Structure 1
Amino acid sequence: MADGNPHPKAEDAERIPYSLDSEQAVLGAILFDNEVYYRVSSFLKSEHYYDPVHAMIYDAMEKLISSGRLASPVMLNTYLKDEPAFTEVGGEGYLSNLARSVPSTVGAPDYAKVVFDLAVSRGLIRLGTEMIERAKSSDLEDSPDEQLSFAEAQLYKLAETGKYGSGFKPFGAGLTEAIELANAAYQRGGGLAGISTGFRDVDKKLGGLHPSDLIILAGRPSMGKTALVTNIALNVARAYKPALQADGSVKAKTGAVVGFFSLEMADEQLAGRILSDVSGVPSELIRRGEITQADFDVIYEVSKELHEMPLHIDDTGGLSIAQVAARARRLKRQHGLGLLIIDYLQLLSGSKKSEGNRVQELTEITTGLKALAKELEVPVIALSQLSRQVEQREDKKPQLSDLRESGSIEQDADVVLFVFREEYYLGRAEPKEGTAEHIEWQEQMSQLMGKAEVIIGKQRHGPIGNIKMAFDAKRTRFDDLAEEDHYPRSN
């Protein structure tokens, strides 16, 4: 290849995987034809180059080409001539030699893949060395569980991106992602950039479930938190349609692969709820076996339909936030992941460092869930209990201050939703039959029967407000509430 390239030390050459020839081949091909850059830039970054001068050249090429200018030896020399390392390898002459030494640009993507793969190998060596040194230290504050969690997180990042974290990104990169989100919303008919929940009015208020968002769904017992999140999981998983991308990867066209951590309810109980929801057969009858042959036939047909649904349930109890993160990463690697659900927040545990301090532990958990949402680039819905102070008020509608240890939950969440069913509270306050109060109570119950509210207490990127919904207690099913403006017009 070209003359003047720097050489690594002899001891490094024996143990560090790299290929200067491949690096030079990629750079030379781009210099010969700038269009080659677009064929390799989707996966190859400057940090994947072993030689720092090559990384510097590739970075300068990226800036020139991205701004619509020609990345030629003359132009690059203008930008890099004051860099001592660049001058040392030959400056413009080195670049010209690179361009002349390329017999064909056809093999450039293959050379780029070699550069990328060797960078991943070096990353594995760095991580392995770091873990060996960390394990040898025998630090009492650094338990084996924490070391395993750290190693798995770093391996996941390496497998997903080929690097250890992107650091600062130029504003243009974020701008491109924002435009892609806007385009996705436009392609779906407008107003919905995220994953559809399957509920019209919820989607209208939230714009769908957005990647990297932490969504807290809170409520008192019997309000229907698990029912609502199960309905969302079912709607999202049933709507899943994969689409093959140009680079060979698969992305969801609609819906998503769902991961559901059911820390309170066994997977068969959750499956029973879903069967009831889809079949229309009340869940209590399914549990007791009080069903007819016709009911069983419907359930059987529904089960066949749902069998291949991309909904993955983990009902292991007592998980830590580190274990949840590790299992979620593994699920994404093995099956893909577009939505993660945790039922519920207070059943997770933090690290040993926070033992005895529940507020500190919950802060670690919510911060960890938000970090996981960003790392996996998926929305995370975490259910949360509310404090008993709700029961002490005349107005039972929940508010942000009702969140248990609300500081960390409210701070880390992008969206906070409350589930509220006034019917539940009114039903427990039935007056004596035959009285005027009882007649008034019956009228109120008839108005509230089968109705619920989803209250948006916080939304970082949108409005707050109330969403009225229908609730079928027998099927534990939420639905859009048919209102006058949603009725079909009569002729």
Structure 2
Amino acid sequence: MADAARKFEEESAIYREAPSNIEAEQALLGAILVNNDAYYIVHDFLKPDHFFEPIHREIFSRTSEMIRMGKIATPVTMKTFLPANDKIGELTVFQYLARLAAEATTIINAADYGRAIYDLALRRSLIRIGEDMVNIAFDAPLDMEPKAQIEDVERRLFELAETGRYDGGFQPFGEALTTAVQMATAAKDRDGGLSGVSTGIMALDQRMGGLQSSDLIILAGRPAMGKTSLVTNIAFNIAAAYEPAEQADGSFKAKNGGVVAFYSLEMSGEQLATRIMSEQTEISSSKIRRGNINDQDLVKLIACSEQMQRMPLYIDQTGGISIAQLAARARRLKRQRGLDVMIIDYVQLMQGSSKSQGNRVQEITEITTGLKALAKELNVPIIALSQLSRQVESRDDKRPQLSDLRESGSIEQDADVVLFVYRDEYYLANREPKAGTDEYMKWELALNEARGKAEVIIAKQRHGPTGTARLAFQAEYTRFSDLADEGYLPERYE
């Protein structure tokens, strides 16, 4: 008896229909055809793909196009844009449109109908993802690990939660154009007129237009050049400038600044916090660590820590994190608290999948490709630090080049922007000639000229020029800032 009941339940599950509400779709389309203002009530969240009935998708798509073009959408004006010979039961398409309009209710209920259609579309997408998950788990290929399936399902669920639909196919070019115009409008309204997130350093923003969404930005340099210092400066500037703006659907999006996720694979969270407090309070980090501070310094540190606690800056100090773990945590953070910029310190400390272990070049390729895909998926800029090979040290000119990147093929290829940090002062200080010689006097002049200065070399940029941004660097506080223009400095007397 129990077996028969189970068999009946299984057969019933097979023949279950996907959740839909044809009547709600008809009522909404009818309301739009009668009064086009109904479209503007639902256009923010409802898309043609959310309709269950194919003809309803076509009607909503054509209606949307006409209304956005400033034309009136009625059964009469729509007639020529829909297939005339198609039948819907006993009715032609035109007769069906006329009936939808004739039986339409007022637009007062349009929002409720639209929300019902949207929610049912989400449920159908969840069913589709769930069915795929079960089928793949039953018949998984030998080379597919369970972790890979978990990552894929999590990505699809995240995309569904963020956009209200799961589709990896084509989009109309008009949507891309609309997004481009929205980006330009946002840049016009944002402080500084930037299309991306401001780094807080004007010399960089002028050359890059801020940090652009979906960009993978590689920041590289030899040890002691200040890579980590520069990204901690940028992270603080972005989080401190955070200014949320409420959207039409009740969610919040950064108008200025942003929510920052900092993956510190090299330093602990405490060390990172000490660095940032040193930068902001102008108290040497070595003094902070040794406790060699006075009461006035302590007051500064407490005030700085109170300010930082209110900032949307989140630190993950897991060492040797894999690209799959990093992606999962980033998705979770964006869903729960928002995410505008990601920083990874640094690429060579990350791990790839077990398949690529043992082949370091292949592993780095997998990591950089994964980071670029994650930047596109989350639609945020990712700044990833990278090491440089020792061949820089063998040249007379120590300024880095793209070929100096470790495992440079994949890093250079996947990156949208490649930045190099270079400080001539560091190399000059290590080449001190014998005192009293002509070489010493030349060296001293060169060292004084280079003191407190740094260069950020933009070696690659997909959507902008290359070049060099000259910055000021205070080594004691590990702080980068804009370099004062010599022409505006007060006159100096020897």
Within-5 A mapping of 1:7-406: 14-82=16-84, 84=86, 86=88, 90-165=92-167, 167-188=169-190, 191-406=193-408
Name the CA shift for 1:486/1:205 in 2 (closer, same or farther; >3 Å): farther
* Equivalent residues of 2:33, 2:73 under 8 A apart: yes
Gaps spanning 5+ residues in structure 2: where? 1-11
Correspondence 1:456-475 to 2 at 5 A = 456-475=458-477
2:371 counterpart letter in structure 1: L
Aligned partners of 1:320, 1:180: CA distance in 2, in Å?
A: 35
Q: Give secondary structure in 1 for the equivalent of 2:108.
A: coil
- CA distance change for structure 1 residues 261 and 11 in 2, over 3 Å: closer, same or farther? closer
Rounded to whole Å, the distance in 2 between the matches of 1:11 and 1:170 is 36
Q: Which amino acid aligns with 1:457?
A: A
Q: 1:462-491 CA distances to partner (integer Å, 9 max, x unpaired)?
A: 1111111111111110011112245489xx
Report the residue type matching 1:424 in the other structure: Y
Name the residue aligned to 1:426.
428
Find the aligned partners of 2:458 and 2:268 in 1 and give their Cα distance.
29
CA distance in 2, matches of 1:85, 1:342: 57
Name the CA shift for 1:12/1:98 in 2 (closer, same or farther; >3 Å).
farther
Alpha-carbon distance between aligned partners in 2 of 1:20 and 1:486, rounded to the nearest angstrom:
70
2-side partners of 1:482 and 1:205: how far apart?
A: 17
Are 1:80 and 1:86, in contact at CA under 8 Å, matched by a contact in 2? no
- How far apart in 2 are the matches of 1:87 and 1:79? 20
State how far apart, in whole Å, the 2-side matches of 1:225 and 1:147 are. Answer: 35
Distance, in Å, in 2 between the alignment partners of 1:83 and 1:296 is 81
Q: 2: distance between equivalents of 1:88 and 1:477?
A: 75
Per-residue CA deviation, residues 2-54 of structure 1 (Å, 9 max, x unaligned), is xxxxxxxx978734211111111111111111121122111111111111121
1:436 Cα deviation from its structure 2 partner: 3.6
CA distance in 1 between counterparts of 2:487 and 2:307 reads 33
Q: TM-score, normalised by structure 2?
A: 0.93
Going from structure 1 to structure 2, the CA distance change for 1:360 and 1:87 (only over 3 Å counts) comes to farther
Quick one: percent identity of the two aligned structures? 55
Give CA-to-partner distance per residue, 1:382-413, whole Å, 9 cap, x none.
Answer: 11111111011111000111111212111111
Residue 182 of structure 1 and its aligned partner are, at CA, apart by: 2.1
Q: Once the 2 structures are TM-superposed, how far is the Cα of residue 328 of structure 1 from its aligned partner?
A: 0.8
* Residues 191 and 204 in structure 1, CA contact (< 8 A), matched pair in contact too: no
Q: Is the 8 A contact 2:279 2:478 kept in 1?
A: yes
Cα distance, 1:373–1:86 mapped onto 2, change above 3 Å: farther
For residue 186 of structure 2, give the secondary structure of its aligned residue in structure 1: helix
Conservation of the 8 A alpha-carbon contact between 2:388 and 2:405:
yes
Conserved 8 A contact 2:422-2:457: yes
Shift of 1:311: 0.3
Alignment root-mean-square deviation, CA:
2.0
Counterpart code for 1:72: T
Q: Deviations over 1:266-302 (max 9, x none)?
A: 1111001011111111011111111112211110111
Deviates more, 1:421-430 or 1:12-21: 12-21
Equivalent residues, number: 481
Cα contact 1:390–1:396 (8 A) shared by 2: yes
SS, match of residue 254 in structure 2:
strand
| SS at 2:305 equivalent | helix
Over 3 Å counting, the alpha-carbon distance change for 1:90 and 1:399 in structure 2 is same
* Aligned mates of 2:342, 2:91 — CA distance in 1: 50
